A and B are shown apart, each in its own frame.
Chain A
Amino acid sequence: GQQLNQSPQSMFIQEGEDVSMNCTSSSIFNTWLWYKQDPGEGPVLLIALYKAGELTSNGRLTAQFGITRKDSFLNISASIPSDVGIYFCAGTAGNNRKLIWGLGTSLAVNP
């Protein structure tokens, strides 16, 4: 099935550092969603984006819907140990019938 290209695949950073990850597609998307999955739990929505160029923050997290509508990024500022987890991008294209998922970015934070 269709997938999004999400990078990096994994990151290992020091507490306090900023983090940036992105997602790209070969086709135009109408919606971008960013989720975080903690170990043993289901994904939880972080930020939803619905308009090209939209920039939205949720605490230390900021995400943007790319102007070309083919990409999105998520930034985390001043990382803390509880930021550890897998971050997924997801989006819809065309008739929005199906949510297409990235392969995830695994984040580890060294205290």
Chain B
Amino acid sequence: DTAVSQTPKYLVTQMGNDKSIKCEQNLGHDTMYWYKQDSKKFLKIMFSYNNKELIINETVPNRFSPKSPDKAHLNLHINSLELGDSAVYFCASSPSKGTANQPQHFGDGTRLSIL
């Protein structure tokens, strides 16, 4: 009955590889997000999708490509992984329709470590 679920929970990989993180929400929400949390715990918005349409793209390198096949799913593909990509990536969803003033529900995060 998990509301926002992301897989995998842990991801350890070599520099230069390509990897994907998946996110699904069963809350019926219209908007989904990807955040990056660095070692200092700062939460940085990366992308936001409303009903499969990209609405926020926050100066993220184009190695990061989000894909939303339907409004319940938002996946993140990362090409040519770099050391600086090591972080915890959180998926979130909210009932808002394009705005961010409704509470967001977070997944448990994907811990990405680049060797």
Size category of the A interface is 20 to 34
Q: Size of chain B's interface in residues, with CB distance under 8 A?
A: 24
* Interface of chain A residues 18 through 72 with chain B (CB within 8 A): 30-31, 33, 37, 40-45, 48, 50
Q: Are A103 and B40 in contact (CB under 8 A)?
A: yes
Question: Which secondary structure dominates chain A's binding surface?
Answer: loop
Judged by a CB distance under 8 angstroms, whether B92 is at the interface is yes
A78 is an interface residue with CB less than 8 A from chain B: no
State whether A99 touches B45 (Cβ < 8 A): yes
Distance between B42 CB and nearest chain A CB, rounded to angstroms: 6
Are B105 and A50 interface neighbours, CB within 8 A?
A: no
Kindly state whether residue B106 has any CB partner on chain A within 8 Å.
yes
Q: How far is the CA of A99 from the CA of B56 in the complex (A)?
A: 11
A43 engages B103 (CB within 8 Å): no
B46 to chain A: closest CB distance in Å? 11
A61 to chain B, nearest CB (A): 15
Q: How far is it, in angstroms, between the C-alpha of A48 and the C-alpha of B102 when the chains are bound?
A: 8
Beyond A42-B4, A99-B104, 5 additional pairs, beta carbon < 8 A: A37-B41, A42-B90, A97-B99, A101-B43, A101-B44
Seen from chain A, the residues whose Cβ lies within 8 Å of a Cβ on chain B are: 1, 3, 30-31, 33, 37, 40-45, 48, 50, 86, 88, 92, 95-99, 101, 103-104, 106
Which residues of chain B have a CB within 8 Å of any CB of chain A?
Answer: 4, 40-45, 48, 55-56, 58, 90, 92, 98-101, 103-109
